Structure formats: structure tokens, C-alpha cells
Amino acid sequence: MILVISYPDEEHTGAVVQRLTEQGHEVTLVDLADFPARKSMTFTWSVNGEPAYYVDGTDGPIDLRQATVGWWRRVTPFTVDDAVSAAMRPFVLSETGQAINGILDALPCRWVNPRAADDAAHHKPYQWAVAQQVGLKMPRTVVTNQPEEARSFINTVGVGKTVFKAFLASFEDWRETRLIEQEDVDRLELVRFAPVIFQEYIKGVDLRITVIGDQLFAAEIDARKTSYPVDMRMVVGESVVRAVELPIKLKQQLLALQRRLGLDYGAIDMRRTDAGEYFFLEVNPAGQWLFAEQHTGLPITQAMADYLAAFDRVTVPNQRAYEPAYR
């Protein structure tokens, strides 16, 4: 059984699950938002028998121990029953997390991505440190909640040549990458309330590089003549998108990055200048690929399905002792 941790309307999940089902694999989708408000769990340990890990599914109980591989795709927060008081909600969420996360870590299956590595790799400062260690070039960057440090960085790089961005882009609190303008400089005192990423703006074309195991699928997104070239996510429909081949050395560095981060999957964003320099921006362990596939024809969905299917055909007794073939 291939266990998928995601939610029903996530289109990338749906595309891969469809391929896997068509190939004859048993796939079970678990949405963490169903717990504990809408669905139940029962985990048992006996003196002389095997433990049992069951959660409610659409068609009855799901035996999580049957999973041969788990796909940690996009996770939704736990949901608390409306009858629970506001004061007790943090406790309910904490207890639910302890129970479910503990069981997921106990499963004798291979995770894609490994859950602890996936969690750590979502932190951009960690990514950047590892990226430089493997030889990738980065734009000048500062993270600070000191207004004067931010002001000094902007003065050095230049107004109109510096961007600021958020650490995470959630559905509830999504923010585009923006160029610093004078009005932003005038309100830099607000930086003291939370750390902000300030980064040198690199002119050029965007690259979305989807990595699955040792396969790299590179799409160039040229947003330079669009209405918002600062952040290609806003103007993919206006951009010129095509598949491209990457230099061998860059491929090696990107695979080294994935290995150091412990990731099987990652959606990497880079910028390539007109002079041919490549700058690493970030890697999203749960990033999107369908827009790149639809514009270029790159077979990313099938590659993801095949990667998961390969683990469904083998037994992995202990994930900590297992090393993927591409490493």
C-alpha cells in the first residue's frame, strides 16, 4: 500500500494518485485535517503480538502498518471539534500531534520525503547554509529584525535593487516577493516586530528545477517582459516557459544539495543572468510542478508516480538504515 499524506483537492496529489491507481497500486489518502474532529484513531500494543495502527478511512479502518511507502506531500493542520473550548484547543492539538506523528514515525515504511528531513529543509536559512556548502551561488542576503541592519543592507545594494520576502507562503497568509521602494524604506521600523528576508534582486530568467531522486526536470520561466518580473509566480501565464538543459556541474551541485538536505523530492528556484551565472534562491520540499509540466511537456507526474511505485515493490525494514539508490 502507498500511503499518501495530503488533502483531497491538492491537484498534484490527485494527478500522481491517478497514475498509481492505473498502474494497479493500492493507494490510501489520509488528510490530517480529519483528526481528531471528524475521524478516529486506535493504536494498540499487546504483550506478545504485533502492534496495530488503525485510523478511520472513507471505506472503513485503514491499517497503517500495511504501508510500504509513505508520500509526505502537503500537510493540513489538525481540526478540533467545535465543542472543545478555546482554552483546551492547544492541549487537544498537542495530544493529537503526539499520537499521529508518533505513529507515522513508527511505520516500517520508506518516506518520500523523510519527515524529519522535510521539516528541516523547509527552513530557508538552513537551505542557504547547505547550498553554499555544496558550491551554489546565492544573492547577497540578510535576515534581520533590526531596522538599522535592514537600512544598511538596502543602502549597500540599492533601493529598487533589493527585494523582501516572507519565509513561508501559506494559503492563509501568502505574500509575493516585492522590490524595495522608498515608501518601504520609510517604514523600516516595523522590521523590529518580526525577522524579514532582504535579498539582492538578480535580473534574469527564472528556473524551476524539479528533482525526483536523481532525475532533474528544468523549466525556464522568462518573465522579464511581463507585468511583474520580480516574482514569476504572479505571471506564469504571461511568461515564456520552456524546458532547458542544465550544465553538468550545476546538476551535480543540486543533487548534492538534495542529498545533504535528505530530500528525495524538491522544487528548486534559481535565477540565470544574461551572463550565464546561476543563483540559488530556495528549494520547496512540497513545491508545485504541474505548471511547468503543462507548459513544457516534461514527464514529472509520471516520474513521481514511478518513484513511489518503485518503493511499493520492495520491503524496507528500517528507514534509518536505508539509503536511496541515487545517493
Q: CA neighbours within 13 Å on the CB side: how many for 245? A: 2
* 239 pLDDT tier (thresholds 50, 70, 90): confident
Q: Is the predicted pLDDT of residue 278 greater than 90, yes or no? A: yes
More confident: 165 or 71: 71
Q: Is residue 54 part of a domain?
A: yes
What pLDDT does residue 251 have? 98
Dist. CA 184–CA 142, nearest whole Å: 16
pLDDT digits (tens, 9 = 90+) for 178-217: 878 888 888 899 999 999 999 999 999 999 999 999 999 9
Read off the pLDDT of each residue in 5-16 and give the average, rounded to a whole number. Answer: 96
Read off the pLDDT of each residue in 267-291 and give the average, rounded to a whole number. Answer: 96
Q: Is residue 186 part of a domain?
A: yes
CA distances, 282 to each of 48, 56, 122, 145 (Å): 48, 37, 9, 21
State which residues form the domain around 67.
2-112
Whether 287 and 258 have beta carbons less than 8 Å apart is answered as no
Q: Could you tell me the CATH number of the domain that includes residue 292?
A: 3.30.470.20
Q: Is residue 303 part of a domain?
A: no
Q: Is residue 83 part of a domain?
A: yes
Q: Could you tell me the CATH number of the domain that includes residue 29?
A: 3.40.50
Question: Residues 31, 82: one domain?
Answer: yes
Tracing cell 516585492 back to the chain, one arrives at 178
- What's the gap between Cα 130 and its chain centre? 16
Q: Is the predicted pLDDT of residue 318 greater than 70, yes or no? A: no
Q: Is the predicted pLDDT of residue 172 greater than 60, yes or no? A: no
pLDDT digits (tens, 9 = 90+) for 101-155: 999 999 999 999 999 999 999 999 999 999 999 999 999 999 999 999 999 999 9
Q: Is residue 78 part of a domain?
A: yes
Question: Residues 66, 39: one domain?
Answer: yes
Name the domain count of the chain.
Answer: 3
DSSP 111-148: EES-HHHHHHHT-HHHHHHHHHHTT-----EEEES-HH
Q: Is residue 327 part of a domain?
A: no
Q: Is residue 75 part of a domain?
A: yes
Reduce the DSSP state of residue 59 to 3 states and report it.
coil
Question: Residues 87, 155: one domain?
Answer: no
Question: Residues 212, 164: one domain?
Answer: no
pTM to 2 decimals? 0.89
Q: Could you tell me the CATH number of the domain that includes residue 166?
A: 3.30.1490
What pLDDT does residue 317 have? 43
Read off the pLDDT of each residue in 25-42 and give the average, rounded to a whole number. Answer: 96
β pairing state of 141-144 and 178-179: unpaired
Question: Residues 174, 211: one domain?
Answer: no
